[in-house]
Structure 1
């Protein structure tokens, strides 16, 4: 009997391999299985093509609007914030990125003021209104992209 359909695997198949390993690897929910996941992800990505042969498809441009995304580099639990970064998106595409900064020595108030300043800068640069971050992603500090990071072994 075949394995039941998995919504989790379907969603995972839409991510890049690197993103999938971050979300489902040892830093995420620990679901990644190197033996099976590559084949499984391919199956789910191409499943619709095999099942829908002969069915017409249409493409509709999704509505475009501005929204901001905040990336928080912090360990799970009640740990201090290591670094933060942000992006401004228009529709389905990132159009502006704030390079991540370390948060060493910054108080919660200073971090909040800084993130609000970022939203204002996005709004002014693109003549739009962005009041808040629509998504916040917590990423393990070991994935910190800052080149001078003390957590990186190559520094």
Structure 2
């Protein structure tokens, strides 16, 4: 069985020789061996080129399906929702965006009703059936894009 590839040598092979000698020579971690390192670095550099030459690559267009994602701006844990937004995607591209809104004073029921209205609006606008969000992403409140925002007072 062949010896496994050394990840340290793989990274080193991408460096210029002078930088590799400084990093791994006597001033560095001491693993530089002039008898073997030049050949090993060459092997690792050309290995990826040789392997990629043997493998054919094809491009297949991904299926173009509609899906909606929901972005929730909140702190981790059981903290209240600060803001939210949504996007409608077709395949690999977003095609429609609900601008973010603050959720101050909205109850859980009102937020749920609002997110359902957003799905219905996306579905009506593009003539598709959307029953739920494909994914929900929680983003920390400090990244809230809504202005003005209590977290980002104007200077």
Give the TM-score normalised by the residue count of structure 2.
0.67
**Displacement of 1:57:** 0.8
Please name the residue that 2:135 is paired with.
Answer: 135
- The structure whose Rg is larger is 2
**Displacement of 1:2:** 2.2
Please name the residue that 1:61 is paired with.
Answer: 61
Q: CA contact under 8 A between 2:70 and 2:133: conserved in structure 1? A: yes
Unaligned ranges ≥5, structure 1 = 4-48
Cα RMSD, aligned residues only: 1.5
Please name the residue that 1:2 is paired with.
Answer: 7
Aligned length, in residue pairs? 110
Deviation track 1:6-62 (CA, whole Å, cap 9, x = no partner) reads: xxxxxxxxxxxxxxxxxxxxxxxxxxxxxxxxxxxxxxxxxxx74523422110001
What is the rounded CA distance, in whole Å, between the counterparts of 1:106 and 1:122 in structure 2?
A: 22
For 1:1-155, what aligned pairs fall within 5 Å after superposition?
1-2=6-7, 50=49, 51-154=51-154
Give the TM-score normalised by the residue count of structure 1.
0.67
Deviation track 1:46-97 (CA, whole Å, cap 9, x = no partner) reads: xxx7452342211000111100000000000000000000000011110000
Q: CA contact under 8 A between 2:148 and 2:154: conserved in structure 1? A: no
